[in-house]
């Protein structure tokens, strides 16, 4: 009998339910839509997404590779806001976009499957990318969670304090920058609202790309998640398989968790995903292993090790 250990390091101390999604954001990768966007300002075509339901928020945009107009305003990877470049989605084919500076704020609002639980701490996360058309970058994209009451009839800057806000300069026009934080719920939140909530002079504007065409900072948004920060880690249920068969370890892959999980074999990282199929006698893990018992355990960033999953390979 031989054994080895796979340790998954979970940032934010979170992991998936085996049976249900744990990211509470509806359509978190902004992929599902009624119809393809046909013009700017059509974020509401995406399931669960719109500007402010209670009024204001201007005209945030929906981008998707299904956009077919030859002007390519809302396509992926090329679109009007990327006229000098391109941007693939963080996942799949679509993302949202908002004007974040100066003066005007476009506001993106996503909805949650259920209201958050009073007193619980949640991890809030999204990925942002600066459009190649933007002369400026800023540092202060924020997330505000409430029951949908936020409104902004004058389309300037909402006078609320976001629970989570970025402080790093968001000036990557190629990769997606993770903006992440946590907050304790008041028990009423059913929407997540995203924009630059800071006044212009408090947004750390930086003349990042002087040759770009637009005197603005325009950001793409993708992969938004709100997840219970104390969700217990889970390696999977104990299982029996025959040599050559596969077993699933970890949780069902999901937006918001996949990029926070790092799987390692004997301390050597080899993949980032919430869960995966493994074949204990395959070259992926260890060609020396075939029959026996394999232990898969999960360790979070606080150092806690959770009950291992035992995969018994039957000779
Ligand atoms: Ca996406
Ligand atoms: Ca780009």
Structure confidence at residue 105 (pLDDT): 95
For the chain, what is the mean pLDDT?
86
pLDDT bracket for residue 291 (50, 70, 90): low
Query: What are the pLDDT digits (tens) for 181-191?
Result: 999 999 999 99
**Distance of CA 5 from the midpoint of ligand 2 (Å):** 39
Q: Which of 81-90, 93-102, 269-278 has the highest mean pLDDT?
A: 93-102
**Distance of CA 36 from the midpoint of ligand 2 (Å):** 21
The total of other beta-carbon atoms located within 10 Å of residue 294's CB is 26
Closest CA to 131 of 221, 220, 41: 220
If one compares 5 and 99, the residue with the highest pLDDT of the two is: 99
Structure confidence at residue 112 (pLDDT): 98
Indicate whether 192 pLDDT > 80: yes
**Distance of CA 234 from the midpoint of ligand 2 (Å):** 36
What are the backbone angles phi and psi of residue 11, rounded to the nearest 5°?
-70, 155
Residue 41, helix vs strand vs coil: coil
Structure confidence at residue 302 (pLDDT): 67
**Distance of CA 89 from the midpoint of ligand 1 (Å):** 5
Which range (54-58, 165-169, 224-228, 290-294) has the least confidence?
290-294
Instruction: Give the tokens for residue 64.
Output: 């998707």
Which domains does the chain show, CATH number per domain?
5-14+231-313 (no CATH), 43-228 (2.60.120.260)
**Distance of CA 242 from the midpoint of ligand 1 (Å):** 38
**Distance of CA 259 from the midpoint of ligand 2 (Å):** 20
**Distance of CA 258 from the midpoint of ligand 2 (Å):** 22
Ligand with an atom nearest the CA of residue 132: 2
Per-residue pLDDT, averaged over 42-62, amounts to: 97
Strand ranges inside the chain, DSSP E: 5-10, 49-50, 61-64, 94-101, 108-111, 121-130, 136-137, 141-146, 164-165, 177-184, 191-196, 206-207, 217-228, 239-241, 247-250, 261-265, 268-271, 275-278, 292-300, 305-313
pLDDT bracket for residue 21 (50, 70, 90): confident
Query: What are the pLDDT digits (tens) for 206-241?
Result: 999 999 999 999 999 999 999 999 887 777 888 888
Query: What are the pLDDT digits (tens) for 102-146?
Result: 999 999 999 999 999 999 999 999 999 999 999 999 999 999 999
**Distance of CA 309 from the midpoint of ligand 1 (Å):** 32
Indicate whether 84 pLDDT > 80: no
Indicate whether 28 pLDDT > 70: yes
Ligand with an atom nearest the CA of residue 95: 1
**Distance of CA 259 from the midpoint of ligand 1 (Å):** 14
Per-residue pLDDT, averaged over 31-56, amounts to: 96
Query: What are the pLDDT digits (tens) for 258-286?
Result: 888 878 777 788 888 888 888 765 444 44
Structure confidence at residue 315 (pLDDT): 55
Burial class (CB in 10 A: 0-12, 13-18, 19+), 264: middle
Structure confidence at residue 19 (pLDDT): 47
């Amino acid at each position: 009998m031989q054994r080895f250990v796979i340790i998954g390091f979970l940032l934010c101390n979170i992991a998936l339910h085996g049976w249900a999604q744990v990211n509470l954001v509806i359509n978190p990768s902004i992929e599902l839509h009624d119809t393809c966007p046909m013009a700017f300002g059509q974020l509401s075509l995406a399931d669960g997404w719109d500007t402010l339901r209670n009024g204001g928020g201007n005209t945030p945009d929906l981008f998707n590779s299904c956009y077919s107009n030859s002007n390519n305003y809302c396509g992926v990877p090329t679109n009007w806001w990327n006229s000098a470049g391109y941007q693939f989605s963080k996942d799949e084919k679509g993302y949202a976009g908002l004007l974040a500076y100066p003066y005007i704020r476009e506001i993106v609002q996503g909805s949650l499957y259920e209201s958050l639980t009073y007193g619980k701490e949640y991890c809030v996360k999204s990925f942002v990318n600066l459009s190649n058309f933007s002369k400026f970058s800023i540092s202060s994209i924020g997330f505000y969670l409430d029951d949908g009451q936020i409104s902004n009839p004058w389309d300037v800057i909402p006078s609320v304090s976001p629970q989570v806000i970025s402080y790093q300069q968001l000036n990557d026009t190629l990769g997606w920058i993770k903006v992440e934080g946590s907050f304790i719920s008041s028990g009423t939140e059913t929407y997540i609202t995203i924009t630059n909530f800071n006044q212009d002079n408090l947004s750390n504007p930086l003349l990042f790309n002087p040759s770009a065409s637009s005197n603005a900072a325009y950001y793409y948004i993708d992969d938004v998640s709100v997840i219970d920060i104390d969700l217990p880690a889970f390696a999977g249920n104990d299982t029996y398989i025959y040599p050559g068969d596969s077993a699933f370890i970890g949780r069902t892959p999901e937006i918001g968790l996949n990029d926070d999980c790092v799987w390692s074999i004997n301390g050597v990282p080899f993949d980032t995903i919430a869960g995966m199929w493994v074949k204990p006698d395959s070259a992926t893990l260890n060609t020396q292993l075939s029959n026996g018992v394999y232990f898969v355990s999960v360790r979070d960033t606080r150092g806690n090790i959770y009950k291992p999953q035992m995969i018994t390979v039957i000779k």
